[in-house]
A and B are shown apart, each in its own frame.
Chain A
Amino acid sequence: MFSNVIELYRCRALIMSLVLKEVKLRYQGSALGFLWTFLNPLLLMGIYTIVFSVFLRIKVENYPVFLFSALIPWVWFSTSILEGADSITRGGDLITRVLFPPQVLPTVTVFSNMINFVFSLPILFIFLLLFKVKIGGALIALPIVMIIQAVFTMGLVLMVSALNVHFRDIQHILGNLIIMWFFATPILYPLTSIPVKLRFITVINPMATLIKAYRDILFYRQFPNWLLLGIALCFGFLVFFLGSLIFNRYKESFPEEV
């Protein structure tokens, strides 16, 4: 685990330049270019708002903002996982023809998506203003929540990217698992809609804790539940540890199997 962290720190310049490349590349060639960073989550929000607020009539005040504050961190998470899963297998020449630290590739997907997340925050703030929800001082807790999410996501991405080299099934099944996870996490609905008996699910689902924390900070203007966040952090480290273990176990076989 630490060897991975040290290695990643050592090639931070490489990671930075690749993240920059990813971010620049993402919308290169499209007419609206960078605007897609904002438009994609906005469109998604529009769809979900119509379905859940108008058709299904979930009773939440300011539903679009309520949703958006949870949707953008989720998009960071899910896109990282989906893109990260085949980051090694897509690595091509980088893996097979040069000496290249492979853990850089999954890391780059997590960070480039984090940058997208940060870029879509201003839209959220505009929405908060539009819906006259004030921006609260709890905002200072945001980086902490982001770090926990980054650790947890990194662990998962390391895991799936390494496993995907040997079991290409992963990238296919992952899309469905992520959708399942999306609905199991209180994003479209408030935590209180889950029957009390089943709420334990959210405790063992770090994403539920994290999403709740984002919503507390951004929407309810209150500090998140530190105890739950602490548990999520422990989960994060555990997953990162496991991910590193799996990644290191398979690392040497990448040049031959990709």
Chain B
Amino acid sequence: MVAIKLENVSKIFFRQPLKRKYTTLRETLLHYFDWLKNRRKVRYIDALKDINLTIEKGEAIGIIGMNGSGKSTLLKLLAGIYKPDSGKVYIKGRVASLVGLGIGFHPGFTGRENIFINGIILGLSKKEIKRKFDDIVKFAELEDYIDDPVRIYSDGMFMRLGFSIATNVDPDILLIDEILAVGDEYFRHKCAEKITEFRKLGKTMVIVSHRLEAIEKWCDKAVWLNDGMIREIGIPSKVIDSYRNAIAQKEGKIPSERRSSEAPRSGTLKSARPD
């Protein structure tokens, strides 16, 4: 059974510094005027180009690639946060994304209050949260701190709580973005166990990570994204090998060009803006 299907999916981002280009009415009007005059000149990045990908239910897919290759964009499309500019995304089942942990957490509130707020944001009902509350606290190992404001938590505790809530959403499809490195060694092992458990339960998983060993260990298939296109897809060990080769080649032959040839990543553009 197919869990996820992408058909000719493309996503573009406009490359103008958004903040400046669209802020004032006058500039927008001028922008439209310009746009009518020379449509071809609008600069944009193809974050994803014509992606075709089918993921069966229960499969674990690892996505690798360099910064700016479109991994996070792909994940956001799967999570439904972005809409594709062309093509179609089919998703079957409840999606949980372990993309940002602890979203909506407020430092002034206690861990208990934040579990409810975050849980509801992630799509749980109050009843479900009540039922799972003890499990969440237990997994995060925060029994002693749950009634303290999150403000006093260490970063590790914060992430643990976030991870614990997110994995308790009980999704059919799990999207994981580089969070396998949460907390200390001990908690990392617990996370690994949780992922293994999800695998056993037959959940579909899409994992984005730069830790290639993790991809090799957990995934049935790896997808190598390069410049917004699928460069290679197949058995993780094989794809990872060719990916490593490509990197070695790049480092060896054209080290100086690396920076300039790397496409600016959407995220980089965004974070470069003042807010």
Contacts from A to B (Cβ < 8 Å): 13-14, 17-18, 21, 24-25, 28-29, 89, 93-94, 96-100, 166-169, 252, 255-257
Contact = CB atoms under 8 A, between A and B. Distances in A.
A256 B45 CA distance: 13
Contacts of A29: 108
Given A13-B126, A98-B99, A93 B104 contact: yes
B23 interface: yes
Contacts of A24: 109
Contacts of B76: 255
17 contacts: A14-B120, A17-B120, A18-B117, A28-B108, A29-B108, A97-B97, A97-B103, A98-B79, A99-B80, A99-B123, A166-B28, A167-B28, A168-B19, A255-B82, A256-B82, A256-B266, A257-B22
A100 B121 contact: yes
B117 to A, nearest CB: 6
A94 B121 contact: yes
Given A169-B23, A169-B25, A97 B99 contact: yes
Contact of A98 (B18, B83, B103, B275): B103
A13 B104 contact: no
Contacts of B24: 167, 169
Contact of B81 (A21, A89, A97, A168): A97
A136 to B, nearest CB: 39
B100 interface: yes
Nearest to A24: B109
Interface in B106-165: 106, 108-109, 113, 116-117, 120-123, 125-126
Nearest to B19: A168
B33 interface: no
